[in-house]
Amino acid sequence: MVRSWSRMQRVQEKQNLKKILLLGLTIVVILAAMVSLGFTALAKMFVVWGDVTSSFRSVEKTDNIPPSPPRLNSDFDATNSATISLAGFAEPGSSVYLQRNQETALQIMVPENGNFLFDEVNLTLGKNRFKAWAVDLSDNKSQDSEELEILFANAPPDLDITSPKEGQIVTGSEAKIEIKGKTDPEAKVTVNERVAIVSMNGTFALKLGLTSGDNTFVVTASDRAGNTIKKELLVVYKP
């Protein structure tokens, strides 16, 4: 009876051992399959990433087309302010360089809408010549923009009234007088808000009516930068 039980126990132990070995083998196979599939997927991911990055590098290396030249915009060609703002349009994402009179250029990044603005650009007295160019993300440089010239002048034009003299008395039946003078050739002259024609050498003349008694004339000369000078003249008319 004891022998029979011992034999049955050994048989049971062998069967249990086989089950354990089979289970262990199954687990090993499953783990090997999982590891194999995991490494394969990982390898495929690296291959795809390598292709993508290689493609981007290829695009960057082959992008040799320069952007279009920037366009500078200004509503004026002369000013009496030492500081201005300059706007323009260029390829979005590029860098625009603005140069004045061959000096060191200013730089700005162009936003997505392509509109850029250089704020607080300093001017020098006289003519200020601006040009700009763009550089894209692949370091391709555009051609220069069209040159933009802005005059900076902060002094009023000359103004000299040559006739009549201050306080001059006019008599006679003709109630008219001609205001004559000289200014800068490009200046605009008005006498009591009426425009006088300025010649190429800067002289001007304008005939106006007189009323009995004191007649005050305000002569104004202004340049295209906005600088203005005024002079008053008194003429007495005695019919």
pLDDT digits (tens, 9 = 90+) for 49-72: 455 445 444 444 578 999 999 999
Q: Is 106 exposed, middle or buried (0-12, 13-18, 19+ CB in 10 A)?
A: middle
Contact present, 180 and 163 (Cβ < 8 Å): yes
Amino acid, res. 129 = R
**pLDDT band at residue 18 under the 50/70/90 scheme:** low
Give the 3-state secondary structure of residue 156: coil
| C-alpha to C-alpha distance for 157 and 228, rounded to whole angstroms | 7
Tell me: pLDDT of 45 over 50.
no
pLDDT of residue 29: 53
**pLDDT band at residue 104 under the 50/70/90 scheme:** confident
Amino acid, res. 83 = T
Q: Under 8 Å CB-to-CB from 194, ≥6 apart: which residues?
A: 206, 208
The torsion of the CA quartet 70, 76, 81, 82, rounded to 10 degrees, works out to 30
Average pLDDT value for residue range 165-175: 95
Instruction: Give pLDDT tens digits for 190-223.
Output: 999 999 999 999 999 999 999 999 999 999 999 9
- Classify residue 94 by its DSSP letter: -
Average pLDDT value for residue range 124-134: 98
Q: Which CATH class is domain 71-152?
A: mainly beta
| C-alpha to C-alpha distance for 47 and 35, rounded to whole angstroms | 18
Q: Under 8 Å CB-to-CB from 109, ≥6 apart: which residues?
A: 93, 94, 95, 96, 116
Task: For residue 138, give the nearest of 52, 205, 58 by alpha carbon.
Answer: 58
Q: What is the DSSP string of 189-226?
A: EEETTEEEEE-TTSEEEEEEE--SEEEEEEEEEE-TTS
Mean pLDDT of the chain: 86
C-alpha distances out from residue 91 to 107, 132, 226, Å? 14, 13, 34
Q: What angle do CA 60, 58, 92 make, to 5 degrees?
A: 25
Retrieve residue 77's tokens.
């060609």
Cα diameter, the chain: 167
Retrieve residue 118's tokens.
């250089």
- The residue with greater pLDDT, 146 or 6, is 146
Retrieve residue 160's tokens.
């000299």
| C-alpha to C-alpha distance for 96 and 88, rounded to whole angstroms | 10
159-238, CATH topology level = Immunoglobulin-like (2.60.40)
